[in-house]
Amino acid sequence: MESLNSVYFCLFFFLYIVIIVENTSLIGLIVLQKSLHEPMYLLVCNLAANGLYGSTALLPAMLKHILSRSHQVTLSSCLLQVFTVHTYAIVEFTILAAMSYDRYVAICRPLHYHTAMPLSKVYKIITLTWLLPFVAFLAMFSLTLNLRFCQPVMERLYCLNYSLVRLSCSDTGYMNIVGIVSVFLYTVPQIVLIFYTYGHILKICVFSSRESQSKALRTCTPHLLTLVNYAIGCFFEIAQSRFELSHLTFESRSFMSLYFLIFPPILNPAIYGMSIQRIRAPVLRIFNGKRKIPAKP
């Protein structure tokens, strides 16, 4: 068992280091390269920052528990993790929705892109993508803080609001209604915006030349891959929280639990780093020394 714990510790420590290196490198590159101070790259920068925020809610605590013989967690630590994990999820989806709007303007209104997306407007959008999710979840989280908890065991690898509410010995009937309304408010506006923007993008592509279609596909592919990655994590998390999955192996359920907080922060920088020439070129220049690799404007 000790040797197995060592393997788990090394694995998750390595994953956390990869997340830190990938996301801080991407953030540093975008911040330092003035040519990347454009709407899409600034949103990618915030996506990377949110990836660091979310993974830090899970991995340091998990590493501590792997080394410790006790797997207990204090209520205050659990509540902090609940707040961090949920705000990470809402901020991630909100940033992805903002990125879909940016892609819509770039493809459907290319001649007006710089007037429609000035940096002053982008900074306001970024502020709202962080501020609104925190304020929105705090309203629901305040109800959780007032509950009394009497059941000591949570059968999850990390704390979630729904799992924590189920441990309460208070009357939580109203929490189900609040939870449904909150999920509606947290997700429906973003879903509507994403479908609206991609509906218009698809409409434009249908009546465009092959060259324009190819350019639109290259422009949207990183964002679509990131959306799919996020959707997989959401599906796994909903399945874990709402359905009885005891027929699955412990390893399968653990993978589903961890996907949401590990794979998006790992894959998102790789997706944008490999797909976007203006991000990929400076990285390749670093790894190839003084060899110059031209970046597309």
Structural domains of the chain ordered from first start? 2-287 (1.20.1070.10)
Q: How confident is the model at residue 191 (pLDDT cuts 50, 70, 90)?
A: very high
- For residue 71, pLDDT beyond 50: yes
The first and second tokens of residue 6, run together, are: 């060592």
Among residues 237, 196, 198, 253, the alpha carbon closest in space to that of 89 is found at 237
Give percent of the chain above pLDDT 90: 39
The first and second tokens of residue 32, run together, are: 């330092």
Whether 279 contacts 273, CB under 8 Å:
yes
- For residue 100, pLDDT beyond 90: yes
pLDDT value of residue 35? 85
Average pLDDT over residues 41-50: 95
The 3-state secondary structure of the chain, one letter per residue = CHHHHHHHHHHHHHHHHHHHHHHHHHHHHHHHCHHHCCHHHHHHHHHHHHHHHHHHHHHHHHHHHHHCCCCCCCHHHHHHHHHHHHHHHHHHHHHHHHHHHHHHHHHHCHHHHHHHCCHHHHHHHHHHHHHHHHHHHHHHHHHHHCCCECCCCCCCCCCCHHHHHCCECCCCHHHHHHHHHHHHHHHHHHHHHHHHHHHHHHHHHHCCCHHHHHHHHHHHHHHHHHHHHHHHHHHHHHHHHHCCCCCCCHHHHHHHHHHHHHHHHHHHHHHHHHHCHHHHHHHHHHHCCCCCCCCCC
The first and second tokens of residue 288, run together, are: 């190839």
- For residue 6, pLDDT beyond 60: yes
pLDDT value of residue 178? 80
